[in-house]
Amino acid sequence: MLDYTIKKIKGLPLGQFDILEKTGLVQHAFTTKHDADGKTFDLNPKADKQNFQKNIRLLAESLDFPVEGFTLSDQTHDLNVLPITWEDRGKGVVKPRNYKNIDALITDEKNIMLTTFFADCIPLYILDTLTPAIGMAHSGWKGTVGQIGVLTLKAMSKHYGTRAKNCMVAIGPGIGPHAFEIGVDVAEKIFALSPTNVKSLNKGKFLADLWKINRDIMYRNGVPEKNIVMAEHCTYMCKDSYFSYRREEGQTGRMAACMALID
């Protein structure tokens, strides 16, 4: 099911999912490559730190959320999930991170904005509406094959008692099925997980649909089908709206995906 709209919030173009907004439990967003004035809006925390600090504060202001509440991942295409507490609030923004190799964050505490970063990989927003609790995961092809979305669900279950049947999952913008071209080695790994979502081209090249693979994984692991939505915005194809690592051959910025439980 499609459910995603780019809105201007205090002038800043931000993507949001209606299914999450309507719960009243969270505040969330996915940034684009432009600010309110149409200038480049890069949120890569590992590049220009001064520029990142300026832009993360602009994002916080647009969402009317304190910048010290933003808490960052440390993405390395691993499968590690980190529970975040109030003590961790603000790490990566207003105080240093004391963790590494973290591609997914979870919390059941309010007013902590879990924040992950993207330029083709797939953002997964997970909301347990009963506990409540949230998870944010970075799912590139390695994370998809390793089922980081399921690992995030399992971590939420372990720490907060989350049950998949009570969850909503929103699959954000990422490289789409007509652009994610891969070789045999990667295709074999993805095919073993989801054969229907890999298509053969020619000369040993294949296309894979990471959106649907992540959707199917979450459904098979207990999230109700009606509770899983997709943006279906391709970061590679939509060059006017999104950065793309592949399109720009690694010389590019990052979008941020963020979500917080609110009062």
* CA nearest neighbour of 123 among 197, 16, 45, 227: 16
Q: Structure tokens of 31?
A: 């940034």
DSSP code of residue 59: H
Give residue 2's pLDDT: 79
| Architecture category of domain 5-261 in CATH | 4-Layer Sandwich (3.60)
Residue 105 vs residues 6, 151, 153: alpha-carbon distances, Å: 24, 11, 11
Predicted confidence (pLDDT) at residue 202 exceeds the cutoff of 90: no
What is the pLDDT confidence band of residue 1, given thresholds at 50, 70 and 90? confident
Give residue 104's pLDDT: 98
Would you say 246 and 236 are in contact if contact means Cβ atoms under 8 Å apart? yes
In the chain, % of residues over pLDDT 70 = 100
Give residue 177's pLDDT: 97
Mean pLDDT of 5-22: 97
Question: What pLDDT, in 10s, does the model give residues 133-188?
Answer: 999 999 999 999 999 999 999 999 999 999 999 999 999 999 999 999 999 999 99
Give residue 91's pLDDT: 98
Give residue 75's pLDDT: 96
Please write down the long-range contacts of 45-50, taking CB distance under 8 Å and 24 or more positions apart.
45/72, 45/92, 45/117, 45/254, 47/253, 47/254
Give residue 155's pLDDT: 98
Give residue 217's pLDDT: 97
Mean pLDDT of 101-108: 98
Query: pTM score, two decimals?
Result: 0.97
Give residue 244's pLDDT: 98
Residues 6 or more apart whose CB falls under 8 angstroms from that of 130 comprise 162, 163, 166
What is the pLDDT confidence band of residue 207, given thresholds at 50, 70 and 90? very high
